[in-house]
C-alpha cells in the first residue's frame, strides 16, 4: 500500500497526446477530438480511484477514450461524420514527391478508416497508430488477445478493399 | 499468422503525416488548468465543526431513540421532531424550512437486478455509457427512476412498487438521460442519442407521442415542461429547443423565474458572484469558497432565499470535491446548508439533484442499490473536505 498515488496531472501530462491522437483518428474532426479528450480526462478524474493497477494506466485511459468516442458518435456525430471531408485541413504544398504521396495517403486512409465500424477503427488506431501491443490493445478494448489479432487482420482487409486505397496497397505489396 | 506485416504497419503510419495531428497548445493549457488546481496557499487550521456536530447529533439521537419510535424511512440524523416547530416558525412565507441540524433522510432504496422493480445492472467500465440511473423525478411521493441500463422507467413509492414503462430499445446506442413529470402527471423521457427525441407517456405509462429534437441540439441533457405545456430541451451547450415551436434559442441565464434573472459569474478561484435582476434592480451577491470553486448551480430563488448547489474543489493535486446545497438570503448571509451524501456513489448520474416544490432530493447510485434522499438544510452542517485534504497531505 506504499505506492505513490496517481495524480490526474501526471496522467494528463503523460497521455493527453495519445488520447487526442486516438480521438482525432477516430473522428477526423479537431473539435470533436478536443471534446472527447476533455471528456475522457474528466471521466478519468472521477474514476481514478477505480484504477487498481497503475501499470495499466495507459490502456485504462485509452479504454475510457474509446468508450467516450463511441458514445460521441452514437450520441451526436454519426450523420456529420460520414459527410465530413478532409478539406478543412490546410497545409503547404510540399515539393518532395514522397511527402506529397504520403499526404494523399493520409487523407484517403483517414476517410477509409471512418468507414470502418467503431470496433475495427479502435483496433487499427490502437495497434497501428498508438503502437499498443496485442496485450495492451486487448486490455484497452476489454477483449481477448486472440480477438484483437483476428479483428486487426479483418480491419486491415476491410481497408484494403476500399476503392480509394486499392492501388496504393498494391504499390506497397 | 494474424500479425500485421511490416508493410501494413508502414502504410498505416501514413496517417501520422496529417499536419494537424497534435492538439493546440491553448486547448492543452485550458484543459490542464481545468483538471489541475495547483496548491499555492497555506490553509488555516481546520475548525473541528464536524466533531462538534457529530457529538451534538449523537446526543440528540440518543434522546430521540429514548422517547420516539423511528419514523418511516431511515433518517441519518434523528432530530426532525425536536426542531421542526422552530423551523416552521422561522421559515419565511415562501421559503424552504431550515432546521437546526442538516438532515439527509433516506426515502427510497431500489436494488440492482433483473426484476421489473429493480434497477438494471450499471456498466462497470469507467467511461461507459450504461450508467444505470441517469435521472429521476419525484412528485407527490411517487418516484420515477430513469434506468438507462435496462431502458425503462420504474414508477414506485416508499410503500410499494407501482409499474414499469419499457422504453424503446430497438436501436443500438439509445441513451436515456432525463425525465420530467408535468402537472397532469404525464411523463417525459429524453433520449439524447443519435435518435434523439422526447417520448411523452400518459400517467399510466402509455406512449402518447414522440417529439423529435433538431440535429443542431448536439448534446441534449435535460427536459422540462413549462407552465404553457411547452416541452423545452436543454443542450450541454447554452442552447434550448422548444419542441412545440421548433425554435432554438441561446440560453443566456443560469436561472430565470417569475421575472427574476440570475447569473453566476466567477470572480476568481475562490469567489463566485450571483447577479440577480429583479423588478429593474440589480443585486450582486458574493459567495466565497473555503478551497477553490467547482461552481454554483442555482436551484431556486424565493422572496428572501436563494437556493443553490455549491461545489468545493480541494486545492491539491489529488482531485477531491464536496457538494452542498446552500440557502442564503439576498444579503448573502448563509441561512443553512446540507451536504450531499455522495460518498457511497459508485457512479454519477447526469441528474442526481432535484428540487421539486419545497423539497430537495438527492440520488446516490451506490454499488448495490440506488438510494434517494431528501436533503433538509440545517443551520449546522458538515464540511469534510478539509479532513480529507489533511488525510491526503499526511499520507
Q: What is the pLDDT of residues B29-86, one digit of tens each?
A: 778 777 754 333 333 333 333 434 444 444 444 433 333 433 333 333 334 444 666 6
Domain at A8-172, CATH from 3.40.1190.20, 3.30.410.40, 1.20.140.160, 1.10.357.10:
1.20.140.160
Cα distance between residue B284 and residue A161, in whole Å = 64
Residue B262 and residue B358 share a domain: no
pLDDT(A49) > 60: yes
Per-residue confidence (pLDDT) for residue B252, from 0 to 100? 60
Domain tally, chain B: 2
Whether residue B16 and residue A106 make contact (CB cut-off 8 A), yes or no, is yes
CATH number reported for the structural domain that contains residue B359 in this entry:
2.120.10.30
The answer to whether residue B83 is domain-embedded is yes
Do B308 and B353 share a structural domain? no
Q: What is the pLDDT of residue B85?
A: 65
Chain B residue with Cα closest to A10:
B317
Are B240 and B324 within one domain?
A: no
Nearest to B249 by CA among B230, B275, B271: B230
CA atoms within a 13 Å half-sphere pointing along the CA-CB vector of B155? 22
Mean pLDDT of B200-220: 91
Residues B204 and B352 in one domain: yes
The C-alpha of A84 sits at a distance from chain B's nearest C-alpha, in angstroms, of: 15
User: A110 and B34: CB-CB below 8 Å?
Assistant: no
Q: What are the residue boundaries of the structural domains of chain A, listed by start?
A: 8-172
Residue B107 has pLDDT above 90, yes or no: yes
Give B337's strand partners. Answer: B326, B378
Contact B194 A75 (CB under 8 A): yes
pLDDT at B362: 96
DSSP classification of residue B126: T
Position B39 in a domain = no
Q: What's the mean pLDDT in B139-166?
A: 90
Which of A66, A79, A102 lies at the smallest CB-CB distance from B14? A102
User: Look-up: residue for cell 405545456?
Assistant: B229
Q: Above pLDDT 70, what percent of chain B?
A: 82
Percent with pLDDT over 90 in chain B = 40
Q: In this structure, are B277 and B329 located in the same domain? A: yes
**C-alpha separations of B309 from B289, B293, B366 in Å:** 12, 12, 21
Residues of chain A positioned with their CB less than 8 A from the CB of B173: 71, 74-75
Least confident among A19-33, A47-61, A98-112, B189-203: A98-112
Would you call B2 and A150 a contact, using CB atoms and an 8 Å cutoff?
yes
User: Taking CB atoms and an 8 Å limit, are B1 and A169 in contact across chains?
Assistant: no
Residues B153 and B244 in one domain: yes
Neighbours of A99 (CB within 10 A): 12
Q: Which domain holds residue B193?
A: 105-252+348-366
Cross-chain residue pair A75–B192, CB shorter than 8 Å: yes
Cell representation of residue B215 = 440535429
Of all residues in chain A, the one with the smallest CA distance to B393 is A5
Q: Do residues B248 and B358 both lie within one domain?
A: yes
- CB-nearest partner of B15 from A37, A106, A153: A106
Nearest to A74 among B4, B10, B193 (CB): B193
The stretch B184-188 carries a mean pLDDT of 93
Residue B276 backbone dihedrals phi, psi, to 5 degrees:
-115, 130
**Residue A143 pLDDT:** 85
Backbone phi and psi for residue A45, each to the nearest 5 degrees, phi listed first: -60, -45
Tally of CB atoms within 10 A around B196: 22
Query: How high is the pLDDT of residue B129?
Result: 47
What is the reported pLDDT for B338? 97
Tell me what the pLDDT averaged over chain B comes to. 81
Q: Enumerate the H helices of chain B as residue ranges.
A: 6-12, 25-35, 49-67, 80-90, 385-393
The verdict on residue B30 lying in a domain is: no
Based on the fold, state whether residues B314 and B226 are members of the same structural domain: no
CA distance linking residue A30 with residue B182, whole number of Å: 40
Residues B149 and B277 in one domain: no
Residues A109, B34: C-beta atoms closer than 8 Å? no
Query: What integer pLDDT is reported at residue B54 of this predicted model?
Result: 43
Residues B156 and B247 in one domain: yes
Between the alpha carbon of residue B371 and those of residues B136, B145, B367, the distances in Å are 11, 11, 10
Give the Cα separation of B132 and B349 in Å (integer): 8
CA distance B148 to B133: 6
Chain A's closest residue to B316, CA to CA, is: A7
C-alpha cell of residue A143: 477483449
A6, A105, B34, B324, B394 from B38: Cα distances, Å: 15, 43, 11, 23, 18
Helical H runs in B36-185? 49-67, 80-90
pLDDT of residue B188: 97
Is B354 or A47 the better-scoring residue by pLDDT? B354
- Predicted local confidence at residue B236, as pLDDT: 82
Rounded to whole angstroms, how far apart are CA atoms B178 and B198?
Answer: 9
Same domain flag for B146 and B266: no
Residue of A36, A47, A66, A76 to mutate, testing the B interface (most B Cβ within 10 Å of its Cβ): A76
- Residue B38 included in any domain: no
Contacts of A135 in chain B (CB under 8 A): none
Q: By CA distance, what is A45's nearest residue in B?
A: B319
One domain for residues B309 and B352: no
Give the residue among B148, B147, B296, B131 at the shortest CA–CA distance from A46: B131
pLDDT at A172: 60
Are β-strands B378-380 and B99-101 bridged in parallel, bridged antiparallel, or unpaired?
parallel
Residue B217, pLDDT above cutoff 50: yes
> Would you state the pLDDT for residue A87?
33
Amino acid at each position: 500500500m506504499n505506492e505513490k498515488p496517481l495524480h490526474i496531472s501526471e496522467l494528463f501530462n503523460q497521455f493527453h497526446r495519445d488520447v487526442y491522437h486516438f480521438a482525432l483518428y477516430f473522428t477526423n474532426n479537431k473539435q470533436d477530438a478536443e471534446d472527447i479528450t476533455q471528456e475522457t480526462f474528466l471521466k478519468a478524474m472521477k474514476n481514478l480511484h477505480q484504477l487498481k493497477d497503475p501499470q495499466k494506466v495507459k490502456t485504462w485511459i485509452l479504454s475510457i477514450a474509446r468508450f467516450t468516442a463511441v458514445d460521441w458518435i452514437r450520441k451526436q456525430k454519426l450523420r456529420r461524420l460520414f459527410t465530413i471531408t478532409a478539406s478543412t485541413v490546410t497545409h503547404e504544398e510540399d515539393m518532395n514527391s514522397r511527402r506529397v504521396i504520403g499526404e494523399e495517403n493520409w487523407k484517403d486512409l483517414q476517410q477509409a478508416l471512418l468507414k470502418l465500424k467503431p470496433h475495427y477503427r479502435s483496433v487499427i488506431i490502437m495497434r497501428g497508430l498508438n503502437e499498443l501491443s496485442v496485450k495492451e490493445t486487448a486490455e484497452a478494448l476489454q477483449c481477448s488477445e486472440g480477438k484483437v489479432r483476428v479483428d486487426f487482420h479483418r480491419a486491415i482487409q476491410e481497408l484494403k478493399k476500399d476503392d480509394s486505397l486499392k492501388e496504393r496497397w498494391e504499390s506497397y505489396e | 499468422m494474424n500479425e500485421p506485416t511490416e508493410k501494413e504497419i508502414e502504410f498505416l503510419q501514413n496517417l501520422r503525416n496529417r499536419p494537424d495531428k497534435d492538439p493546440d497548445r491553448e486547448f492543452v493549457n485550458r484543459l490542464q488548468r481545468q483538471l489541475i488546481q495547483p496548491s499555492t496557499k497555506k490553509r488555516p487550521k481546520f475548525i473541528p465543526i464536524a466533531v462538534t456536530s457529530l457529538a451534538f447529533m449523537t446526543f440528540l439521537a440518543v434522546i430521540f431513540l429514548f422517547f420516539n419510535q423511528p419514523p418511516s424511512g431511515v433518517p441519518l440524523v434523528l432530530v426532525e421532531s425536536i426542531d421542526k416547530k422552530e423551523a416552521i416558525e422561522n421559515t419565511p412565507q415562501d421559503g424552504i424550512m431550515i432546521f437546526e441540524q442538516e438532515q439527509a433522510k433516506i426515502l427510497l432504496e431500489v436494488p440492482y437486478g433483473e426484476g421489473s422493480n429493480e434497477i438494471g445492472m450499471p456498466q462497470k467500465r469507467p467511461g461507459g455509457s450504461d450508467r444505470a440511473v441517469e435521472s429521476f423525478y419525484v412528485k407527490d411521493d411517487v418516484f420515477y427512476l430513469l434506468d438507462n441500463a435496462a431502458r425503462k422507467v420504474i414508477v414506485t413509492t416508499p410503500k410499494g412498487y407501482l409499474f414499469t414503462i419499457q422504453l424503446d430499445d430497438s436501436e443500438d446506442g439509445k441513451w436515456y438521460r432525463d425525465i420530467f413529470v408535468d402537472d397532469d402527471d404525464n411523463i417525459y423521457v429524453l433520449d439524447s442519442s443519435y435518435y434523439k427525441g422526447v417520448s411523452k407517456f400518459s400517467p399510466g405509462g402509455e406512449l402518447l407521442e414522440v417529439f423529435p429534437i433538431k440535429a443542431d441540439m448536439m448534446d441534449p441533457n435535460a427536459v422540462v415542461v413549462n407552465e404553457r405545456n411547452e416541452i423545452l430541451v436543454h443542450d450541454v451547450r447554452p442552447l434550448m429547443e422548444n419542441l412545440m415551436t421548433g425554435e432554438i434559442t441561446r440560453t443566456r441565464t443560469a436561472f430565470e423565474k417569475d421575472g427574476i434573472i440570475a447569473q453566476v459569474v466567477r470572480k476568481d478561484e475562490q469567489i463566485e458572484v450571483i447577479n440577480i435582476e429583479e423588478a429593474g434592480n440589480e443585486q450582486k451577491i458574493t459567495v466565497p469558497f473555503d478551497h477553490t470553486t467547482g461552481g454554483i448551480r442555482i436551484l431556486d430563488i424565493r422572496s428572501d432565499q436563494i437556493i443553490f448547489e455549491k461545489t468545493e474543489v480541494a486545492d491539491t493535486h489529488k482531485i477531491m470535491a464536496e457538494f452542498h446545497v446552500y440557502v442564503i438570503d439576498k444579503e448573502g448571509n448563509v441561512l443553512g446548508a446540507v451536504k450531499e451524501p455522495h460518498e457511497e456513489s459508485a457512479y454519477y448520474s447526469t441528474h442526481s439533484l432535484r428540487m421539486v416544490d419545497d423539497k430537495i432530493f438527492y440520488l446516490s447510485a451506490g454499488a448495490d442499490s440506488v438510494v434517494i434522499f431528501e436533503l433538509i438544510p440545517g443551520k449546522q452542517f458538515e464540511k469534510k473536505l478539509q479532513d480529507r485534504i489533511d488525510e491526503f497531505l499526511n499520507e
